[in-house]
Amino acid sequence: MGLYEKQQVGEKQPLPYPIEANETINAEGCLITPGLIDLHAHVFPTQTFLGVEADRVGVEQGVTTVVDAGSTGIWAFDAFLEEAVRPSVTRILAFLNISGDGLCKGGGELGDMSRLTPREAAALIREQPLLRGIKARMSSSVVKHNGIRPLHVAKEAAREAGVPMMVHIGNAPPRLAEVLALLDRGDVVTHAFHGKAGGMFDEGGELIAEAQDALDRGVLFDIGHGESSFSFRTLRLAQEKGVAPHVISTDVHRRNLDGPVHSLTHTLTKFLANGYPLEAIVAACTSAPARILGMENEIGTLKPGACADVTILQLRKEPTRLTDCEKETIETSERLVAHQVITSGKVLTCK
Ligand SMILES: [Zn+2]
């Protein structure tokens, strides 16, 4: 199935009018794309153990927009604004954790149903434009004995606020089939290509019926690479079955920044090495996440009238080793590297 939208890159178009510039950037041999968007990152270092500074995984790595996926719930949101959003050049958006605690008290945030805050979360999302959805982490270590119940609560909040949900999947319970059954068009499954048991492919390598149904009704599959949630083997199975990720994101945090994730461009290189077309890879970290965020006219696009938000990439011919979360390593001869970004009226050189 053709899940990727087609986006033309690399075609030379004459300018429709003469342009007088104050500043000219030499981007010869580079790829000019909309500013990259990382739909799943953790950038709340002051209050969560896993958090990293947004600019370190944002503009310094060619990512002009990072979306924090559930580090904060309602109770730490003011601190998130003050300590993560305010000091950062990188644009920060967020999926608000359905647990009032977010990840500020460790990882079992959905183990106590009394900590879930659907009404307050929906109200906060309606008044805070940087909040674009609800996050719920639906795996056994997070929900403890609550099974699927937290997802019903999260869904209620997302409906009330009129935003999509991002649902993390991992080890059951709850089973993936139960999780997918509750998701609607526009909701996002992150860690969709993990290599654990109980994923979208059964033991015989066939796509489970519930995953096919979810895809057919417009549920979106995101990579969310992370520390233990991305497998080349699953990716190859998906390629055989014609299932492509809608979004490529990192789930970058303190424990995977030095590997296996490293950066969004390093993650994109893994898709290039597996034969995905560059146009599709760029769409999966620009226009596709922008649509999920409801910001397709502002970011993730180079069309006139959008924000001047641009990433300049280089495709370097360099032998590179790439490792997934199952410790499978592949070799490739080229890699994507962030060179510069243009964002918030500034031209910045990446590190
Ligand atoms: Zn995450």
Tens-digit pLDDT profile for residues 193-210: 999 999 999 999 999 999
The mean pLDDT of 162-178, rounded to a whole number, is: 97
Report whether 135 belongs to an annotated binding site.
yes
Q: How many angstroms is it from 103 CA to the middle of ligand 1?
A: 10
Report whether 225 belongs to an annotated binding site.
no
DSSP E strand boundaries for 170-228: 188-190, 220-221
Instruction: Please write the tens of the pLDDT for every residue from 42-68.
Output: 999 999 999 999 999 999 999 999 999
The pLDDT of residue 6 is: 43
Report the C-alpha gap between 33 and 303 in whole angstroms: 11
Instruction: Please write the tens of the pLDDT for every residue from 74-121.
Output: 999 999 999 999 999 999 999 999 999 999 999 999 999 999 999 999
How sure is the predictor about 10, in pLDDT bands with cuts at 50, 70 and 90? Answer: low
Q: Could you tell me what percent of the chain has a pLDDT over 90?
A: 90
Q: How many angstroms is it from 186 CA to the middle of ligand 1?
A: 19
The pLDDT of residue 7 is: 41
Q: How many angstroms is it from 226 CA to the middle of ligand 1?
A: 7
Q: What is the CA radius of gyration of the chain?
A: 19
Structure tokens at 244: 């492509």
Report whether 251 belongs to an annotated binding site.
yes
Please state which CATH number belongs to domain 37-306.
3.20.20.140
Structure tokens at 88: 């950062």
The pLDDT of residue 182 is: 98
**Distance between first and last Cα of the chain:** 37
Structure tokens at 307: 């924000």
CA-nearest of 131, 37, 38, 137 to 85 is: 131
Residue 332's alpha-carbon distances to 72, 195, 322, in angstroms, are: 37, 21, 8
The pLDDT of residue 20 is: 80
